[in-house]
Amino acid sequence: MGETFAKSHHALLSKGDENEMEIFGYKTQGCRKAMCIAGYILSCGVLRLVFYWKPAWDVWANCIPCSLQEADVTLLRTTDEFQIYSRKKVTWISVSALNKFRSDYPIIADENSIINKAIMKPELKVRCIQVQKIRYIWNNPEQQFQKVGSLEDSHTCSDIHAKFGSGLRYEEQEIRRLICGPNAIDIQVVPIWKLLIKEVLNPFYVFQLFSVCLWFAEDYKEYAIAIIIMSLLSIALTVYDLRKQSMKLHRLVESHNSVKVTVCRKDKGFQELESHHLVPGDVLALTGGKALMPCDAILIGGGCIVNEGMLTGESIPVTKTHLPQAHDSRPWRTCCAEDYKRHVLFCGTEVIQTKADGNGPARAVVLRTGFNTAKGDLVRSILYPKPMNFKLYRDALRFLISLIVLATIGMIYAVCVFALNGEEAGEVVKKALDVITIAVPPALPAALTTGIIYTQGRLKKKGIFCISPQRINVCGQLNLICFDKTGTLTEDGLDLWGVIASEGNSFQKVHSFTSGRSLPWGPMCGAMASCHSLIVLDGKIQGDPLDLKMFEATNWEIEDSSDDHVKNGEFTHAVVIKPGPKASNVPVEGIAILHQFPFSSALQRMSVIAQEIGGEQQVFMKGAPETVTKFCRPETVPPGFASELQLYAARGFRVIGLAHKILQAGRQAAGLPREEVESDLTFLGLLIMENRLKAESKPVLEELSAARIRSVMVTGDNIQTAVTVAKNAGMISNTSQVILIEANELSGSPSASITWKLLEESKPNGYRNLETYIHVGGRFSSEVGRSSYHFAMSGKSYQVITQHFSYLLPKLLVNGTVFARMSPGQKSSLVEEFQKLDYFVGMCGDGANDCGALKVAHAGISLSEQEASVASPFTSRTPSIECVPELIRQGRAALVTSFCVFKYMALYSTIQYLGVLLLYWQLNSFGNYQFLFQDLAITTVIGITMSLNGAYPKLVPYRPPGQLISPPLLLSMVLNILFSLCMQVFGFVIVQKQPWYAQHNIYSACLGGNKSHVQNSSSTATIGFTGTEHADAREGEDNGYKSYENTTVWLLSTINCLMVALVFSKGKPFRQPVYTNYIFVLMLAVQLGICVFFVFADIDGLYSQMDLVCTPTFWRISMVIMLLVTFAMSFIVEETVIENRALWMLLKKCFRYQSKSLYKRLQRMLEQDSAWPPLNETIFSESRVIPVEDNRIAYRNPVFESNEDML
């Protein structure tokens, strides 16, 4: 019974998705709710505020657990390590008003639709919840909440054509619209009052409000007003920034919410309507010129050319083809494999051209609407970013909690001292609460934020824009950077170097294009002229840069036929290509491209069906050479294919394979399945493209290597090319060896194999113009040593390893440097796997196919300013990887600044706390102006200016500490607190032993003082905070704070704050030296000058205002000596112990401390394993018996957490 209830009470929402959550069912109970309301009233709203901060407590207090079917409130919890709770109310949608339905008749034509299963009969109602802009409805038969707003994934290709090809009935469309919601990515500009309330209810500002009320009660008006002004300014700036972001996001999506579309209605034909009325299952007619897609849709008829710059970051035309009417029982996505996207038009992309077919204009079935679309998902990633769990912030919270504990001890001490001395209860409470505002610095979050704002400004000046400022500190911990190759490490453009034709089962001489000679006519020339996705747009040829370079080399021209024509009963919109004036003698008039199978990074190939004008139809294929040869007849592939490919790939060339075949006469191009078209091809040869390394790539990678930051290449290019580029760029040194990892699934068996092969470079004979080529299968060089090697693998091998050899994956990643032929999904997976090994991972790409990896990395750096870059925390205006070391430098400086500011603010509050508790012993305290000077003139100014130090220009080979709870930082804090405590206690005790000291006469030390003033004041010198009999005296010149102890302790603690600020203001190796922070040094000098003036000045008016008393010159000099001794001790300890890296490394060695990071543990283990790596060996997945490490930690994704203690 209990298990059944637990199962019905709890479930997973969006299981397996990135946004997976746990959902719990609850029912509101009247008596509980009444008790909570009474609690709100009795607590003056405090309980309601706590429930606002903790929604789970709100649900637990107001509701009782129940099954999800009965629930009127749901509690959601994220399944990641953060386990964030949110409360959602279950609402009802009524469809009875739309029409009268028979209880036994399916409301939606598709009986298997989730909508049919969700409508409760006979009530005709639907239960739903809204989570992060996505609507979930209750599926009655399956007893769970399911996402709505998209077609079910279970539909087959034939289902989509049959069920939705002719459109929806009007009534069904209305029901779907009501249940799925409008097709709109609606981002309302949040009203200022809402932003204001949300910001004011932040715990930090609530604590400040408490502090301000307390200060007003104690007549500490000046600082209270100053804090109010600063808080209002901070709130105003935050609200302005949030409002600006809200408006920017609103403008980003508003254009997609009001598009006119043409929809096909069953039995009613075509009609025009607003795009927000679209529902999943509608049929769009795509006609006319350019248009934005208002939803995700599956193309079921005709063809389209779209600009997917919003998604990929590349503003190049992409060809889309219609979904085949395959009679396959598998779901349409499975049937289309990884290349299903070639049939999908994504929301936010621009349709440039449409191509009709024999059944009319291009048509598409609406697949997803609203926030379920690709555009909606992008917007949701901005609205609901992945939470941060950087150790600095967690440690800061722990430290604040420890300060609160310290404040609690102080409160108990204050209550005891004042209560035992007979103080009024009100005064005792005030003084006890005052300890909290002293021990816990209210300005700490603002001071930490200031440093981030300064760093953000410096990054902006360098052309690096940040949309997630909290990740700046994380950049200071990066120790592994993944780079895309093309457009990131190498130039965007490709130059055509030459063509190597294959004739008679052998390669011919290289045809070089640098000589200016045109390629003679033949199948190779025909393939280069027609096997592409280029289009003519506004009189200009546009498309993929590689296609463009290849086509330009043929000297042919494109004539985009604007007239649709029928040929052999087939309705076509053909692209016609004709020889240009500079083309070589061609015996054909031109070529018409009849049908395209567009290029896909997943399939690594493209093909076209083309026809010579007046001639026969041919198939041309272009793609990765190793992929193209799989579709060719073996006898047409030269025996030396592998070595020839390696030869040119070793030079860093981009190598493309070409193939063709002649189609049988009478076959209709559009009706042929791709499997039939791409079979029995004849291999034509290799196209050699030169992709030059960017000038700045090698120096940047060398700089990162010198700083012990790993560089990894993640590319979609050939593995041989990638290895060569990695060597040329300096990722792989000349003394290192590369081991190729090949993993394959065994045909007809569920097992797989993995092989380690050594790649060797050698000088080939007969190729004088080429330097080296890669030879597979050498012996490991004992001279180099087993520690100096790099693994290289393809995306296919990576996929097999993750599925069959997951226990080996961590060991391979520790030395993995080149990952080639990687799909976008594999790139994201690789970044996450590196994170599981406790690496702090950065990802740098140009936006194309890198968006997923840019989002999941600790720091994603996009080199593209396209719309896709909004998913990346950082965007560089300059498309150069020089931004990577700059970002790391600034991140390190920001991280160290955060530690400096945190240490200073914590120590300042502790110094003030110790001083106040000392004076509490005599029922005394600091005066209001004394507090004001310390809080406003000293600490606020230091907090603002301490963070102005710039980043040190050189990256050192170690990172700054990533956590507060580390021995050096804790020792620094403890020692400085002890120094301050000793100095203040020493001053407090010694001043009482001076011969001129008189407890009841505060002018006894200055014999020249005004006698009448002395007489008037002596009687009130020790009032402290006694009762009402001294109220009149307080209102006079002496307010009761004046004493020798007060003067001594205040002057010592105030100047001590300045000394600590100077000691804690770190310079090299992560920040510029402190003397380069001119404003900070100037402010410190001015503050110190004023404090020294306070020490030695003897001005009655000034001393009276600051609650100071006159002391002999000898005592003033004694205080200066105490301060100098304390400063010398603090400075020496900080420089010789705390900042002495060699000392801490020695201590680590003596105590045999080793890093707990998983990748470090693996490295240590592999260094001791003489059998690793197993060269020239093959292992089968069934033969595994020994795990990587018996006590190895189970896989986890710490995201923004590292267990490594770095000094």
* Euclidean distance between CA atoms 1035 and 374, whole angstroms: 70
- The DSSP bridge partners found for residue 1119 are none
Cβ(1021)–Cβ(1033) below 8 Å: no
What letter does residue 372 receive in the DSSP assignment?
Answer: G
789 residue type, one letter:
Y
Residue in this structure with the two tokens 């409508």, named with its chain if needed = 119
Residue in this structure with the two tokens 């130059």, named with its chain if needed = 495
Angle of helix 391-420 versus helix 883-920 axis, rounded to 10: 10
Residues 6+ apart with CB under 8 A from 260: 272, 273, 274, 275
* Euclidean distance between CA atoms 756 and 492, whole angstroms: 33
* Euclidean distance between CA atoms 1051 and 196, whole angstroms: 40
* Euclidean distance between CA atoms 414 and 432, whole angstroms: 6
Residue in this structure with the two tokens 């009325």, named with its chain if needed = 277
Residue 144, SS3 per DSSP: strand
Supply 375's token pair. Answer: 């555009």
Annotation marks residue 484 as catalytic: yes
* Euclidean distance between CA atoms 26 and 40, whole angstroms: 21
What letter does residue 1195 receive in the DSSP assignment?
Answer: P
763 residue type, one letter:
K
* Euclidean distance between CA atoms 714 and 910, whole angstroms: 49
247 residue type, one letter:
M
* Euclidean distance between CA atoms 1117 and 198, whole angstroms: 52
* Euclidean distance between CA atoms 1054 and 138, whole angstroms: 64
* Euclidean distance between CA atoms 334 and 483, whole angstroms: 31
* Euclidean distance between CA atoms 470 and 478, whole angstroms: 14
Residue in this structure with the two tokens 């079921």, named with its chain if needed = 300
* Euclidean distance between CA atoms 726 and 819, whole angstroms: 11
In order, the DSSP letters of 192-217 are HHHHHHHHHTSHHHHHHHHHHHHHHH
Distance, CA of 910 to chain centre: 36
* Euclidean distance between CA atoms 570 and 430, whole angstroms: 90
Total length of the chain: 1207
In order, the DSSP letters of 809-848 are HHHHHHTEEEEES--HHHHHHHHHHHHHTT--EEEEE-ST
Residue in this structure with the two tokens 């004046």, named with its chain if needed = 1042
Neighbours of 878 (CB within 10 A): 12
What are the distances in angstroms from CA 274 to CA 189, 294, 493?
22, 10, 41
* Euclidean distance between CA atoms 462 and 474, whole angstroms: 19
- Given the residues 159, 484, 544, 838, select the one marked as catalytic: 484
* Euclidean distance between CA atoms 301 and 286, whole angstroms: 10
CA torsion sign, 213 to 218 to 221 to 227?
negative
- The DSSP bridge partners found for residue 25 are 74
Indicate the burial class of 760 (C-beta count within 10 angstroms; 0-12, 13-18, 19 or more). Answer: middle
964 residue type, one letter:
L
Residue in this structure with the two tokens 């080529």, named with its chain if needed = 773
* Euclidean distance between CA atoms 618 and 530, whole angstroms: 10
* Euclidean distance between CA atoms 684 and 632, whole angstroms: 10
- Give catalytic residue positions: 484
